[in-house]
Amino acid sequence: MSSEEKQSWIYALVAVVVPLVYFATVLSKVPGTDVATIGYVWPMFTAIGVGIGANIVLNITAAIISPREAGRTDERDRQINRRGEHVGFYVMSVAAIVPLGLAMARIDQFWIANALYLAFVLAALTSSVVKIVAYRRGF
């Protein structure tokens, strides 16, 4: 497995685990509560920071475990990365319509922010899955 494929797996793992914890924590407060009173800002900042930090630490750990593969990329890796990022961009572009619509409908900021965060999560996860599939099934 190339280092680029490992990075895609790590990114996918982080893109699933961290948001699941965030959404489980924050959305569990929604039933029976006015969402305007739910403190979501710092938990969201924390989730974003933990996601970035976990991605960095796990990628460094993978490079330490397999130092010969670290940093080696070829044209196929670059094409797969480009394709995954391209698809992720389109997912983000389409998913961003939801928070935009919520803002236009003057829905509470809580829902707008969480919809935007979910759009980023979906884009990251889609990008990783596209890359993993390209590595596994061919490009």
The owner of tokens 């979501």 is 40
Rg of the chain taking only CA atoms, in angstroms: 17
Rounded Cα gap, residues 23 and 18, in angstroms = 9
Q: What is the pLDDT of residue 130?
A: 96
Tens digit of pLDDT at every position of the chain (139 positions):
788 888 999 999 999 999 999 999 999 989 888 888 889 999 999 999 999 999 999 999 988 887 776 667 788 888 999 999 999 999 999 999 999 999 999 999 999 999 999 999 999 999 999 999 999 887 6
What pLDDT does residue 17 have?
97
pLDDT of 74 reads 80
Query: Which domain range does residue 61 map to?
Result: 3-137
Name the domain count of the chain. Answer: 1
DSSP state of 38: -
75: buried, middle or exposed (CB in 10 Å: 19+, 13-18, 0-12)?
exposed
Say how far apart CA 65 and CA 6 lie, in whole Å: 11
Packing angle, helices 3-27 and 75-95, rounded to 10: 20
**Whole-model pTM?**
0.88
Tell me phi and psi for residue 82, to 5 degrees.
-60, -45
Query: pLDDT at position 124, please?
Result: 96
